[in-house]
């Protein structure tokens, strides 16, 4: 497995591999890798990529003021070992100054799908995500890139960006990997105390209950407003502070008033100081 820190060297290598006919997959991450990330590598393998490039980069541009950029867990050594074991063929771990040299002043903005949900709560977040992913697409020359459904809005925004800007990169979205308890795996789970981890179970429980109720109602679905109140109450009982609870059309991310097939429920809530997100599709 190759390890790149220099963007230009990665670019030269992936370009040569692509010219030689190798199918290239990109798996963008911020590191502190867990089974959720590694499932994306497995998906790339399943799709017969000859080269699987995992990028590990805590992207400063997607963090807002007062967010956890400085304290975000950085576990490079363990991440490299995990990538090797999972079957990645290259890891790209650039320094922030290599990705954003002095004078960097160009950003990519998706203006519709990124407006609500996490975009409304974290101004500038998706601008940072789109910018870094655009750069990674240019540097890794992938045929396809694998993202997790855990970041539901992010996957939609990236798909739109790839289409709108003609990247020619197929966007693959893989299912959410959960702990046995139901908690969606996240690098930020490392922040949780045992009591907060217990509270956080309310997210997946509320989503599972909601999904089951909506599915039981079939094509007609169930009204969202009372469900929303029920989820809010469940999160509050568990000691979580709600950031948002929304039901949207899974394609357009426009709010819906009925939970039926084609809708998705997206949650963001704080367990202590840690902001967690989760979602389910009906
Ligand atoms: P991150 O390192 O948090 O930026 O995540 C990198 C990629 O891994 C994103 O595409 C995430 O959606 C995906 N990912 C993170 N957690 C999970 C999970 N529990 N299941 C599936 N994919 C995940």
- Confidence at residue 229, expressed as pLDDT on a 0 to 100 scale: 98
Q: How many domains does the chain have?
A: 2
- Beta-carbon-side half-sphere exposure of residue 167 (alpha carbons within 13 Å): 26
Average pLDDT, the chain: 98
In tens, the pLDDT along 161-171 reads 999 999 999 99
What's the pLDDT score for residue 22?
Answer: 98
The confidence score (pLDDT) of residue 241 equals 98
Q: Is residue 180 part of a domain?
A: no
Distance 38 CA to ligand 1 centre (A): 9
Q: CATH code at 47?
A: 3.40.50.620
pLDDT digits (tens, 9 = 90+) for 202-258: 999 999 999 999 999 999 999 999 999 999 999 999 999 999 999 999 999 999 999
Determine contact, residues 263/221, Cβ cutoff 8 Å: yes
| List of the chain residues with pLDDT < 50 | none
Domain region containing 241: 187-281
Q: Find out whether the beta carbon of 280 lies less than 6 Å from any atom of ligand 1.
A: no
What does the alpha-carbon distance between residue 255 and residue 27 come to, in Å, rounded to a whole number?
A: 30
Locate the ligand 1 atom nearest the alpha carbon of residue 187 and give its number. 3
Indicate the residue among 142, 174, 206 that finishes a domain.
Answer: 174
| pLDDT at site 246 | 98
- Are 86 and 164 in a shared domain? yes
Co-location of 89 and 197 in the same domain = no
- Do 149 and 24 lie in one domain? The reply is yes
**What's the pTM?**
0.98
Assess whether 37 carries a catalytic annotation: yes
Q: Is 50 within a domain?
A: yes
Reduced to 3 states, what is the DSSP secondary structure of residue 174?
strand
Asked whether residue 200 falls in the same domain as residue 160, the answer is no
Q: Catalytic pick from 34, 37, 104, 138?
A: 37
- The first and second tokens of residue 211, run together, are 């999904």
pLDDT score at 222: 98
Q: Is 128 in the pocket of ligand 1 (CB under 6 A)?
A: no
Parallel, antiparallel, or unpaired for β 2-4 and 24-29?
unpaired
Share of the chain above pLDDT 90, in %: 100
Residue 182 belongs to some domain of the structure: no
Q: How far apart are CA 54 and CA 42, in angstroms?
A: 12
Residues 76 and 132 both lie in one domain: yes
């Amino acid at each position: 497995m190759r390890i790149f820190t220099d963007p230009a060297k990665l670019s030269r290598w992936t370009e040569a591999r692509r010219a030689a006919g190798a199918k290239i997959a990109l798996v963008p991450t911020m590191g502190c890798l867990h089974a959720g990330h590694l499932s994306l590598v497995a998906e790339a393998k399943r799709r017969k990529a000859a080269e699987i490039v995992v990028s590990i980069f805590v992207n400063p541009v997607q963090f807002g003021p007062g967010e956890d950029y400085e304290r975000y867990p950085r576990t490079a050594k363990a991440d490299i070992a995990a990538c090797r074991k999972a079957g990645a063929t290259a890891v790209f771990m650039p320094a922030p100054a290599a990705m954003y040299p002095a004078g960097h002043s160009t950003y990519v903005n998706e203006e519709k799908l990124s407006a609500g949900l996490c975009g409304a709560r974290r101004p500038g977040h998706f601008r940072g995500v789109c910018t870094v992913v655009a750069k990674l697409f240019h540097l890794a020359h992938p045929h396809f890139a694998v993202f997790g459904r855990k970041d539901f809005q992010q996957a939609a925004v990236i798909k739109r960006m790839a289409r709108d800007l003609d990247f020619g990169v197929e966007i693959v979205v893989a299912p959410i990997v959960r702990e046995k308890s139901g908690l969606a795996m996240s690098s930020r789970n490392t922040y949780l105390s045992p009591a907060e981890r217990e509270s956080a179970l309310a997210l997946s429980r509320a989503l599972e209950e909601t999904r089951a109720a909506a599915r039981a109602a079939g094509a007609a679905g169930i009204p969202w407003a009372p469900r929303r109140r029920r989820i809010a109450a469940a999160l509050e009982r568990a000691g979580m502070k709600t950031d948002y609870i929304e039901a949207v059309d899974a394609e357009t991310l426009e709010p819906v008033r009925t939970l039926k097939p084609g809708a998705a429920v997206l949650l963001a809530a704080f367990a202590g100081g840690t902001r967690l997100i989760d979602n389910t599709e009906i």
